[in-house]
Amino acid sequence: MAPRDDIERNLSGRDYKKAFGQFSSNKTQRISTLKPVEVLLDAQADAGGGVHTIDFNKGDIIIKQSGMYLIIAGPQLGKVRGATPRWIDLWLRVNNIDVPNSNIRAVIIDPEEKTVAIMNSVLPLNRGDTLNIVMAAETIEEGMGLEAIAPDGEPTIPSIIITIVQLD
């Protein structure tokens, strides 16, 4: 059996013991307030015919089984105008409580610049917990936020991709 056939056989209709999920947004999300805002999600990767073991509703990622989780998020950051260096922060929130030591900061100068700032964390999560990615910026005057790009002849570049894998 070829390696690719083995992958397809294992993905087809299999129920996994460990939870996993990959979520993304194909929408540009600009910050319009100086208060923290939740990042919205609009896509969940196919489970290969299996059952989704983590779910989502807009920006809410809903945990279906308790365990220790690895969370990796790659937001694509940019701004519309201005040449002054400005910061944008992103962090995790569980059940509406900010997760300590989960914040990342990117500084953007040029509106033509796009930055992917990887954030990651390992957290214990319980069945029914709601996980969110939250963002805030130094200013609302320069159109800072997450940017999706639709290049010709290529797949869309999401404004954010989040991967969650249960470790135990």
Residue ranges per domain, the chain? Answer: 29-166
The torsion angles phi and psi of 3, rounded to 5 degrees, stand at -55, -40
Between 77 and 52, the more confident residue is: 77
Which residue has better confidence, 37 or 13?
37
Residues 42, 26 contacting (CB under 8 angstroms): yes
Examine the pLDDT at 14 and tell me if it is beyond 80: no
Structure tokens at 68: 């220790």
Strands (E), 18-149: 20-25, 29-30, 37-38, 43-44, 54-57, 60-63, 67-78, 86-94, 97-98, 104-108, 115-116, 119-125, 130-137, 145-146
Q: What pLDDT is attached to residue 53?
A: 83
With H, G, I as helix, E, B as strand and everything else as coil, classify residue 7: helix
pLDDT for the residue 151: 95
Question: What band does 33 get if pLDDT is binned at 50, 70 and 90?
Answer: very high
At residue 140, φ and ψ (nearest 5 deg) are -105, 0
At residue 7, what are phi and psi to the nearest 5 degrees?
A: -65, -45
Report whether pLDDT(8) > 90: no
Q: What is the mean pLDDT of the chain?
A: 90
Q: Which amino acid is at 53?
A: T
Question: Does the pLDDT at position 10 exceed 80?
Answer: no
What is the token pair recorded at 38? 């939740």
Tell me: domain 29-166, CATH 3.20.20.140, correct? no
Query: pTM for this structure?
Result: 0.87
pLDDT given at position 6: 45
Q: Which pLDDT value is given to residue 4? A: 44
Retrieve residue 97's tokens. Answer: 């409580």
* Mean pLDDT, rounded, for 114-137: 97
- In this predicted structure, the answer to whether residue 50 has a pLDDT above a threshold of 90 is no
Q: State the residue for tokens 């600009």.
A: 30
